[in-house]
Structure 1
Amino acid sequence: MYRRPTQQRLAHNRGFTLVEILVVIVIIATLAGMAVMSLGSSSARVWEGEVRRLSALLQLVSDRALIDKSHYGVVLEPESYTVVRFDPTTMTWQAPDAAMAGNRSQRFAFHELPPNVRLELIAGAELPSTESTEFAEEESADADEESAKPQFVALSSGEILPVELVMYLVEDGEFARGATISYNSLYGLQLEWQADEF
Structure 2
Amino acid sequence: MRARPSRSHGFTLIEVLVVIVIIATLAGMAVLSLGNSGARAWSGEVQRLAALLQLVADRALIDKAHYGVVLEQDAYRVVRFDPATLKWQSLDAVAAKSVAARFVAHQLPGNMRIEVISEAELPSSAPAEFAAEADDSAQPIPQFVALSSGEILPVELAMFLLQDGDIGRGATISYTSLHGLQLEWQADDY
Q: TM-score with structure 1 length normalisation?
A: 0.85
Instruction: Name the SS of the counterpart of 1:196 in structure 2.
Output: coil
Matched residues in 1 for 2:132 and 2:175: separation? 33
- Contact map agreement 1:85 1:94 (CA 8 A) in 2: yes
Aligned with residue 58 of structure 1, among 43, 53, 58: 53
Matched residues in 2 for 1:142 and 1:64: separation? 27
- Contact map agreement 2:123 2:131 (CA 8 A) in 1: no
Matched residues in 2 for 1:68 and 1:82: separation? 18
Q: Shift of residue 138 of structure 1?
A: 3.4
Instruction: Name the SS of the counterpart of 2:38 in structure 1.
Output: helix
Q: Shift of residue 26 of structure 1?
A: 1.4
Q: Shift of residue 86 of structure 1?
A: 1.1
Partner of 1:48: 43
Q: Shift of residue 136 of structure 1?
A: 8.4
- Contact map agreement 1:180 1:191 (CA 8 A) in 2: yes
Residues 137 and 154 of structure 1: is their aligned pair in 2 closer, same or farther, counting only changes over 3 Å?
Answer: closer
Give the counterpart letter for 1:61 in structure 2: V
Partner of 1:163: 155
- Contact map agreement 1:120 1:167 (CA 8 A) in 2: yes
- Contact map agreement 2:69 2:144 (CA 8 A) in 1: yes
How many residue pairs match? The answer is 184
Matched residues in 2 for 1:91 and 1:102: separation? 21
Identity of aligned residues (%): 66
- Contact map agreement 2:172 2:184 (CA 8 A) in 1: yes
Residues 113 and 37 of structure 1: is their aligned pair in 2 closer, same or farther, counting only changes over 3 Å?
Answer: same
Give the counterpart letter for 1:144 in structure 2: A
Cα-to-partner distance string for 1:124-175 (whole Å, 9 max, x where unaligned)? 23111128xxx98931x21222xx1100000111000111111111121111
Q: Shift of residue 4 of structure 1?
A: 8.5
Correspondence list, 1:113-132, <5 A: 113-130=108-125
Partner of 2:136: 142
Partner of 1:153: 145
Q: Shift of residue 29 of structure 1?
A: 1.0
Q: Shift of residue 17 of structure 1?
A: 2.2
Give the counterpart letter for 2:98 in structure 1: G
Structure 2, unpaired ranges of 5+? none
Structure 1, unpaired ranges of 5+? none
Residues 192 and 103 of structure 1: is their aligned pair in 2 closer, same or farther, counting only changes over 3 Å?
Answer: same
Give the counterpart letter for 2:29 in structure 1: M
Matched residues in 2 for 1:190 and 1:138: separation? 33
- Contact map agreement 1:125 1:150 (CA 8 A) in 2: no
Structure with greater Cα Rg: 1
Cα-to-partner distance string for 1:18-38 (whole Å, 9 max, x where unaligned)? 222222111111111111111
Which protein has the bigger helix share?
A: 1
Matched residues in 2 for 1:126 and 1:84: separation? 16
